[in-house]
Structure 1
Amino acid sequence: MSKAVDTLRHVSAIVAAIADRPVEEITTRSRLVEDLDLDSLQVVEIAVRAEEEIGMPVDDALLTEPEMTVEQCAQVVNEAAAQKALT
């Protein structure tokens, strides 16, 4: 299993918990704000929980884009993890 798939699963689980929905309802194309009705504080919470898992800051400003999907969110987390691997 690839790291990207693993990260996507972790992010999907985080989003499901914060959105208070079953993980089965969360798809890669689910938009955080538009589809899941998350507010800005909940989006920041996604970043905080992801940071706790990877031990590297995740720029929550990147996650607040109105069209941000779960898959794009996982990409942001992957990029933060890649930065950690370089240091």
Structure 2
Amino acid sequence: MRISEVAEQTGIPPRLLRYYEEQGLLVPDRNSSGYRNYTVTDVEVARRVRQLLDAGLSTATIRPALPHRTGRTVGPDLRGNGR
């Protein structure tokens, strides 16, 4: 789905979604024309990022804890024990 659809579904403006990508928090696929193609997983990650930022965590703290299509869940990395 396109960035405008993700923005509509999440309430996160496209500018912030692009910022999340710049910070390595979101990794949408790109089509041959360079347009971002977001998946349902990307939408879930964007929502989680927003929640964590709203809770006061920094992007540097959030980044290592995100699944990025590996199937990992957010949790242990946020406690700082690296497990």
TM-score, normalised via structure 1 length: 0.29
User: When the two structures are superposed, what TM-score results if normalisation uses the length of structure 2?
Assistant: 0.30
- Higher RCO (Cα < 8 Å, 6 or more apart): 1
Structure label with greater radius of gyration: 2
Where is the strand percentage greater, Structure 1 or Structure 2? Answer: 2
